[in-house]
Amino acid sequence: MNEKIDRKDISIGTSEELEKENIQFWAKTSAQEKFRTITFLRECFYGQEATTGRLQRIHTVFKRT
């Protein structure tokens, strides 16, 4: 993910055209690459602990009436 942006690949269009391109891109992408991208985004938003730590367990108790 430390690659430079290839400015030749940048395109300008309507939001509908760009959305179609985005869908086509992710449809062609391998599951492994999708997983790497999700992991990268989780680290960006939530920090390194989001991908190295365990999931937090939360218990909620509801009283029935």
Per-residue tens of pLDDT for the chain, all 65 residues: 567 777 777 767 888 988 998 999 999 999 999 999 998 988 888 888 777 776 667 778 888 87
Burial of residue 43, with CB atoms counted within 10 A of its CB: 0-12 exposed, 13-18 middle, 19 or more buried: middle
pTM: 0.54
- DSSP class of 29: S
Q: How far is CA 61 from CA 5, 27, 44, 56, 58, in A?
A: 49, 41, 33, 16, 10
| 31 close to 38: Cβ distance less than 8 angstroms | no
